[in-house]
Amino acid sequence: MLIRIMLHRASHAGTILLRNHQKCSTVWRETRHCSALVYREHSHNIDTVRMEQLLLPPVGDRSVRVHMLAAPVNPADMNMIQGSYPILCPLPAVGGNEGVGEVIEVGSDVTSLRPGDWVVPIDAGFGTWRTGAVCEEDEIISVPKDVSLLGAATIFVNPCTAYRMLHDFQTLTPGCTVIQNASNSAVGQAVIQIAAALGLKTINIIRDRPNCAELIDELQSLGADYVVTEEEEVPKPKLGLNCVGGLKNEKIFFIFSYEGTMVTYGGMAKRPLQIPAVSLCSSCTVFYFLVCTKNHKEQLKAMLNAVCDLMRGGQLSAPHCIQTPFHQYTHALQATVQSHCRKHVLIM
């Protein structure tokens, strides 16, 4: 037992001593292989995603070995598997675009990271649904370890998107109002909290559902000023965040068609965006987070620190989510394509 604990510690610290101990095959495999959720074709059938054992390359001078800790299943991940996302990975591919891992081993020329650091990938297509990875130093960035594991696993795509949208399109001073749809999404929850921290008011549109009152309470407890269903009337905002696209958003367009900006950042309804002529007088724009961040590591670091500060200050929490053991991935993938479902985070 003691020997097993020592070997586990050694492997966790990236020690290669196990190469000469072929009997310890489990630890050997953990160091040299990883389990990963691989898809070999684009399909709406979730069965095409399978857990496979992958061989990891040795750590080079500028590369880093990472043990993945937790990774969410986001709608964009599913769209990539389905082949309907603007960015597609060469096949076969490992699923998952965000998540947090711990650095196990670094190459001799790596300067920005060391073993024990928590890291997140900075571009789409990393393939985070895996137990381990070897990647280049500049593919990942460290995140502070004093935020929660779920917070770190979900920090990059959604809270940073919310942060950018609230800072980059309008000068929003305390008292300004932001309207958004899909307000219960992970982005929506981050918008509510960051807006509240900035002193902004939020009008939050959700789809009607059987447990609507419960969801309204939940969003209000995050700091939402108004929570209304798509059928209800809403007050006049300054900034509109459109996650849904499609026809039902005419309401959003008309509401701020004389002043304010509308930012479209998602297309959950999978319907073409239709803009009434009157709304063309106002400012409408499309936002894509990765395009604005991936080549600016210093700015990215500053933004991550700002988002982490909000987390530490209790002003921003991880989205309400369900933690799913890695081997139960099928359940998490199936749930993500259902309506009214909480986000799932795979725990490796």
Ligand X SMILES: NC(=O)c1ccc[n+]([C@@H]2O[C@H](COP(=O)([O-])OP(=O)(O)OC[C@H]3O[C@@H](n4cnc5c(N)ncnc54)[C@H](OP(=O)(O)O)[C@@H]3O)[C@@H](O)[C@H]2O)c1
Q: Are strands 93-94 and 49-55 parallel, antiparallel or unpaired?
A: unpaired
Angle between helices 329-336 and 75-82 (to 10 degrees): 90
Residue 81 in contact with ligand X, rule: CB under 6 A = no
What phi, psi does 87 have (nearest 5°)? -110, 125
268: contact with ligand X by CB under 6 A: yes
Answer whether 292's CB lies under 8 Å from 271's CB. Answer: no
76 or 203: CB nearest ligand X = 76
Q: Which of 64, 157, 179, 219 binds ligand X (CB under 6 A)?
A: 157
Residue 7 engages ligand X in binding (rule: CB under 6 A): no
197 interacts with ligand X by CB under 6 A: no
Q: Rounded to 10 degrees, what is the CA torsion of 265, 269, 274, 280?
A: -20
Biggest CA-to-CA distance, the chain? 73
| 249 part of the interface to ligand X, by CB under 6 A | no
Nearer of residues 27 and 156 to ligand X, judged by Cβ:
156
Considering the complex, what minimum distance in angstroms separates the CB of residue 191 from ligand X? 10
In this chain, which of 71, 182, 191, 345 binds ligand X, going by CB under 6 A? 182
For the CB of residue 322, give the shortest distance to ligand X in the complex, in Å: 11
Give yes or no for residue 121 binding ligand X (CB under 6 A). Answer: no
Q: Between residues 269 and 275, which has the closer beta carbon with respect to ligand X?
A: 269
Contact 264, 284 (CB under 8 A): yes
Which residues between 223 and 242 bind ligand X (CB under 6 A)?
none
Stretch that binds ligand X, among 5-13, 125-133, 267-275, 323-331 (CB under 6 A): 267-275
Q: Tokens 């800790």 belong to which residue? A: 69
Q: Which of 158, 249, 261, 324 is in the footprint of ligand X by CB under 6 A?
A: 158
Q: Is 138 left (phi over 0), alpha (psi -120 to 50) or beta?
A: alpha
> Looking at 43-51, 220-228, 252-260, 336-344, which segment touches ligand X (CB under 6 A)?
336-344
Q: Which of 39, 85, 163, 226 is catalytic?
A: 85
- The number of beta carbons lying within 10 Å of the beta carbon of residue 64 is 27
- Judged by CB under 6 A, the stretch of 90-98, 122-130, 259-267, 297-305 that binds ligand X is 259-267
Cα 3 from Cα 135, distance rounded (Å): 30
Evaluate the CA torsion angle 332, 340, 159, 147 in order and state its sign: negative
Write the DSSP assignment of 101-118 as a string of letters.
EEEEEE-TT--S--TT-E
Binding to ligand X by residue 207, rule CB under 6 A?
yes
Shortest Cβ 320–ligand X spacing (Å): 9
Annotation marks residue 226 as catalytic: no
Residue nearest to ligand X (CB): 266
Scanning 19-27, 44-52, 99-107, 284-292 for contacts with ligand X by CB under 6 A, the matching segment is 284-292
Q: At what angle do helices 158-168 and 297-312 cross, to 10 degrees?
A: 100
Residue 288 binds ligand X (CB under 6 A): yes
SS3 162: helix
Strands, E, within the chain: which ranges? 33-39, 49-55, 63-73, 93-94, 100-106, 118-121, 132-136, 140-143, 177-180, 201-206, 226-229, 239-242, 261-264, 283-286, 321-325, 343-347
Number of residues that bind ligand X (CB under 6 A): 25
Min dist. Cβ of residue 171 to ligand X (A) = 21
Taking CB under 6 A as the rule, does residue 243 contact ligand X?
yes
Interacting residues with ligand X (CB under 6 A): 74-76, 157-158, 161, 182, 184-187, 207, 243-244, 265-269, 287-289, 339-340, 343
- Catalytic machinery residues: 85
